[in-house]
Structure 1
Amino acid sequence: MTLDPEQLGRSKSDLAEILRELRKRAGLTGDRLARRCAMSQSKVSKIETGKVTPTLVDVERILTALEAPRELVAEVTALARIANTQWQDKRSSWRRGLEKRQAELAYLENTSSDMRYFLPAMVTGLLATPEYIKASLDNSPGDTSRTVTKKLERQAVLYDTKKSFTFLLTEQAVMWAIVPRPAMVIQVERLASLSRLPNVRLGVLPNGTSPARGPMNTFTTYDDRLATVETFAGRLVFQDPRDVIQHLAIFAAYERIALFGDEARAFLAGCVRSIIHDL
């Protein structure tokens, strides 16, 4: 399915309008439809007014209750999937201010209990040293000092033992040298140190590991309710459970072949020795 950013913006209102019109064509009241698909009448009303975005499962239940033809089911469920996807382009983030993005991430972290980070290219901000964070923002416009501060403040969440974090890093992500080599030594040693936190699992995928599929994108899952995928131009936010489950399954496949615990720390120690050798 091709996702047009403009379509992403229109899809929620379009979906609400289509579902409302289909109910009326079927000659059903909102209350009768709610009973047919085992939903509350207030939820049906909120879906039809666009106040609530239905999941694919919700939409399928409604369409089944309405006895919609197969071709219409395919069209409306495709629209529902788009409605459960958000596009956030980088230019808009820059215009709003990068620190606002940090506030959004802090909210997601504070309202989630199980977070998983797939990192094929670089170290993420939660694991990064101040120097690494500054270097990662070199291509961002304007004064990034407040963003650096916000990123560092967010790292406190790692010490909340009510939450669990799993990070998977490829060897490239560990060794991507965006800071001078002495600073890279400190960064890699920080990874090893954080891997000892009781609620943090840090896995490494060395070069030569043979996964079933290539590590294409950085992505994060927040519990089983949301997944974000990073691209050069921006990020996609998936809220439909099926999309989130798919990302969790991809994560689990890599998790099964990653190094953890003492094996991961031994690998990281070898990375440090390699960096020092090249100084």
Structure 2
Amino acid sequence: MNKQKVWFVTGASKGLGLALVKELLATGYRVAATSRSKNDLITAVGESQHFLPVETDLTSEVSVAAAVKDTIDRFGRIDIVVNNAGYSQIGTLEELTDTEVRGNFDVNVFGMLNVIRKAVPYLRLQQSGHVFNIASIGGLTGNFPAFGIYCATKFAVAGLTEALAEEMNSFGIRTTLIYPGYFRTGFLSKESVKTPQTPIDAYSSARAIESAHLNEINGNQPNDPEKAAKLMIELSEMKNPPVHFLMGKDAYELAQNKIQLLTETFEEWKDYTISTKF
């Protein structure tokens, strides 16, 4: 492993981002990490000459540009970008307000785009690097009541990452889109997840799945974030890493279900589908 590589990780004060930063520092890498609170980063990670905590508002291009510049000033380069920051907005499409929806997209999608716009120029000049975009298995299959908006943000992440992979390839920059399943982090804690401001009681299925995520799945997720961190480091050292990567047995099973559903549906309606040809 090339321990001289510099990692830039967003959303690093908790969850998968925190697990990754800790593993990177323990392994000897240099790491710049962002969070809305620098103190939260220092409290969670500690202090080290190889660690640069940066308080960053990912929804602000100015703030993101400053974070990237601070990293370059401190370490001289950026090699691996991990767009990990994001949060889950629970709520049906009808009950979520415009402000709630746009807030989720601002962080999960436009925040990621801000990082790409500000960090990729350095990778491109180096003619090397690796961009990890963390989506969710909800970016491949969206049939979860009350998670439509969150899944929509992750579908957007998947789509833009597919394009990014093609755009970066000629510059020697690798791109990996990760679809995590459920990992045992604080992602579903009441402090992290957002629930609808004006819930509609008629959506009983949405309330049931909301309750299940907050009270049953939270704390009992089947996947280990420390194993995910080690796996991402391993992927970063591969000469030809995958563009699409499922992370977790549950993610694999849900993806297979989606593939089977699409295949069966496309075949069932094939005659209608191809009937539009001249």
Q: Is the structural similarity TM-score above 0.5?
A: no
TM score, norm. by length of structure 2? 0.32
Q: Which has the higher helix share?
A: 1
TM score, norm. by length of structure 1? 0.32
